[in-house]
Amino acid sequence: MFDPQLLFAGFATIASLKVFPFLVLGTVMGIVVGAIPGLTATMAIALLIPFTFAMDPISGIVMLLAIYAGGIYGGGVASILIRTPGTPAAAATLLDGYPMAQKGEAGRAIGIATISSGIGGLFSACALTLFAPLLATVALSFSAPEYFSLAVFGLVVTMSLSGNSLLRGFFSVLCGLTIGMIGIDPIGGFQRMNFGFSELSGGFNFVAVMIGLFSLSEAFRQMEQMDTMPPVPPAIRNVLPRFKEIAGMWTVYVRACVYGLIIGIAPGVGAETSSFLTYAEVKRASKDPSQFGKGAPEGVAAAQAAENGSTGGDLLPMLTLGVPGDAATAVLMGALTIHNLQPGPMLFQERPDLVHQIFAGMISANLMFMIVGLLGARLLAKVVQIDRRILVPLVCLLSLIGAYAIDNNPMDVWVTLFFGVAGWLMYRNGFPVSPLVLAVILGGMMESNLRRTLVMGLGSPAIMLHRPIALLILVLAALSLYAVIRRNSNEARKRKAEEAVTE
Amino acid sequence: MKLQVRSGDAVAGTLLWVMAAVIVQQSTTWPSSGDVAGDPTVFPRALAAIMFASGLALFVLPRPPPAREEGTGELRTLRTLLLIGLTMLMALSLETVGLVTAGIVYVLAAQRLAGAPWRKALPFAIGAPIAIWLVFVTVLHVPLPRGEIWQWLFS
């Protein structure tokens, strides 16, 4: 259960000299990487995991949480200043943030974006603190059938919501499940599918796979689009917004926080979906929707608050059930396992102190990026202008070194390179990468729990019919799959009709 | 936007068939269900069957084109391919010549390939590998390759 005393002790740990510098460092790195177009928060976490190897677990985890929160916020800065989203999630901020900058209100837009991200992030971090222990308590009653259903649900939703083709998402999931099978049988413990390579006896190193898919492949992708230099950003003045202005947007914040949290909890979707959905909803509910898209501060506030409002929700299923909410939390989960911490309900039983330190870390990270963002707004104008011709090769180098540093094993460098090329090719051909990563993580959970379920049912899967929670989760997975298939077929029909009219 | 079967999808379909065949072949060598709790071949073989069907669907069903950004012309693709080649050379030489030497050459070559001018590229190419070395080895105590060639020369 939630324990206020443990939370205060967690804040004391975060404020200690052993952890606090890493909170600041992580926040700065997250904001910087997030603000550079093309570099995402997920990439920043994957790239910087190796730096946490030598740290004690809580310092490393707090630094990664700060990178995560700061990275999500930082994406909006580039949207406002140079009309290029720093991260995909920040595309909704662009709609009103850039018009505000064009009107000479770049500083005001950044100020509103910073405070709004902070409000959304703090709300979701507090919700995480309150709800995660409750969900973990419920999850203690879960058995193999429920975990199998959760893994199926996570994969179905992830593949449904990524990219413009369900089948391409499914391809990614199947590849991820196959990659997850390489190494050791999860129950029998025998070697399988290592093709005689002793280096593969434990399977692919997950961190090396993530660095390749999220960091190196992104660098390869950036190399193709490097002919244009970012435009010169406008001058930044009057960053600190007036209290009256922020307080006047409370209805926007209520919507953004609730939407952000709910969307964040849903597997497979995160900041990107929540910011666009909230923006659309706030615009619909506005007294004057015509102002949206022309520099409405409410638009910036809605997008940014929802973006960071989803972060706590994304962390919730990962921490309590071991099912990551999106790609960024999948990478964070990998980082936790590196520090010998297995997310799930048992973590709440065995290490309540650490769990509360994580909550305190998440709340502190959201406060910290507000402070750093407001104080360093003028410097951010320089960050968005960083020359990518210099930066991208450095990202490549850091990816390779990070992979090597995992186990001092040259094989991991090749694994990263292989998945870097694979990720780049997948992107070029419209195959989403996130479902592959989630499938690698959830594959083992899915397989071992399916087998345990079959043992429980004496070889028959009919046992699922007698487990209401497991059945409900499977029905939800089937419904979401049906909804996506129906949506896709409607779109295809519409496209055909449009083509017929054009011809 | 025209729906059609694309070469990328056809390659992916073939890949699924190959992976399905490999899984089925490999699963014949695993212990039987009598030796291990739950049949260890159930999940992989079910997966292989789904893969086979999905591979077929990728060949047969038309899909919309990938939402691709601008700038994936031939010249730019060639640049990425060259960067991949450079990265392979870096991975090959990492242990032999060491991180700092390989890193300086790699970063400089990659930056020039990206179009960065010498005066900008050179300081970063020299500074970044040294900084990474200092952070990992000196501050974090994570060992990185010094380079066999240097160890041999100075031993």
pLDDT tens column, B20-53? 999 999 988 888 766 555 778 888 999 999 999 9
Q: Does A460 touch chain B (CB under 8 A)?
A: no
DSSP sequence for A191-240: EES-TT-GGGTT-S-HHHHHIIIIIIHHHHHHHHT-SSPPPPPPP----S
Q: Which of A195-204, A243-252, A336-345, B125-134 has the highest mean pLDDT?
A: B125-134
Residue in chain B lying closest to A223 (CA): B80
* Alpha-helical segments (H) within A231-351: 243-247, 250-265, 271-285, 297-321, 327-338, 345-350
Q: What amino acid is encoded at A197 in this protein? A: F
How far apart (Å, rounded) are the C-alpha atoms in residues A398 and A420? 13
What was the pLDDT predicted at A176?
93
For residue B73, what pLDDT band results from cuts at 50, 70 and 90?
low
Suggest the residue from A152, A192, A488 to mutate for an interface test with chain B (most B CBs closer than 10 A).
Answer: A192
The whole-number average pLDDT for the span A110-124 is 93
pLDDT tens column, B98-109? 999 999 999 999
What was the pLDDT predicted at B64?
66
Q: Does B140 touch chain A (CB under 8 A)?
A: yes
Tell me the two tokens of residue A259. 């939407």
Q: Tell me if A76 sits within 8 A of A86, measured CB to CB.
A: yes
Q: Does A187 touch chain B (CB under 8 A)?
A: yes
Instruction: Determine whether the interchain pair B144/A401 forms a contact, defined as Cβ–Cβ distance below 8 Å.
Output: yes
Above 70 in pLDDT, residue B112?
A: yes
What was the pLDDT predicted at A490?
82
pLDDT tens column, A379-420? 877 777 778 888 889 989 989 998 888 888 888 999 999 999
For residue A230, what pLDDT band results from cuts at 50, 70 and 90?
low
pLDDT tens column, B118-146? 998 999 999 999 998 998 888 878 888 88
Of B12, B26, B71, the CB nearest to A193: B26
Instruction: Determine whether the interchain pair B87/A394 forms a contact, defined as Cβ–Cβ distance below 8 Å.
Output: no
Of B47, B90, B120, the CB nearest to A400: B90
The residue with tokens 């059609």 is B4
Higher-pLDDT residue of B116 and B71 is: B116
How is chain A split into domains, by residue range?
4-227+240-502
ipTM: 0.89
Instruction: Determine whether the interchain pair B143/A408 forms a contact, defined as Cβ–Cβ distance below 8 Å.
Output: yes
Residue in chain B lying closest to A460 (CA): B38
How far apart (Å, rounded) are the C-alpha atoms in residues A316 and A327? 14
Cα torsion for A32, A37, A43, A47, to the nearest 10°? Answer: -50
Q: Is A233 left (phi over 0), alpha (psi -120 to 50) or beta?
A: beta
**Residue A261's closest CA among A354, A438, A129?**
A129
Chain A residues with CB inside 8 Å of B144's CB?
Answer: 401, 404-405, 408
- Three-class SS state of B63: strand
Q: Does B98 touch chain A (CB under 8 A)?
A: no
Suggest the residue from A396, A421, A440, A502 to mutate for an interface test with chain B (most B CBs closer than 10 A).
Answer: A396
Higher-pLDDT residue of A382 and A126 is: A126
Cα torsion for B123, B124, B128, B131, to the nearest 10°? Answer: 40
What was the pLDDT predicted at A83?
76
Chain A residues with CB inside 8 Å of B140's CB?
Answer: 51, 53-55
The whole-number average pLDDT for the span A447-472 is 86
How far apart (Å, rounded) are the C-alpha atoms in residues A481 and A267? 13
Within 419-448 of A, beta carbons closer than 8 Å to B belong to: 420-421, 424, 428-431, 446-447
Q: How far does Cα A101 stand from its chain's mean position?
A: 28
For residue B2, what pLDDT band results from cuts at 50, 70 and 90?
low
How far apart (Å, rounded) are the C-alpha atoms in residues A24 and A33? 14
Within 229-268 of A, beta carbons closer than 8 Å to B belong to: none
Of A171, A392, A431, the CB nearest to B54: A171
How far apart (Å, rounded) are the C-alpha atoms in residues A391 and A376? 21
The residue with tokens 């500083």 is A107
Higher-pLDDT residue of A305 and B37 is: A305
What is the sign of the dihedral through the CA atoms of A290, A291, A292 and A298?
negative
Half-sphere exposure of A190 (CA within 13 A, CB side): 16
Tell me the two tokens of residue A255. 């919507």
Instruction: Determine whether the interchain pair B76/A227 forms a contact, defined as Cβ–Cβ distance below 8 Å.
Output: yes
Instruction: Determine whether the interchain pair A396/B87 forms a contact, defined as Cβ–Cβ distance below 8 Å.
Output: yes
The residue with tokens 């309590």 is A320
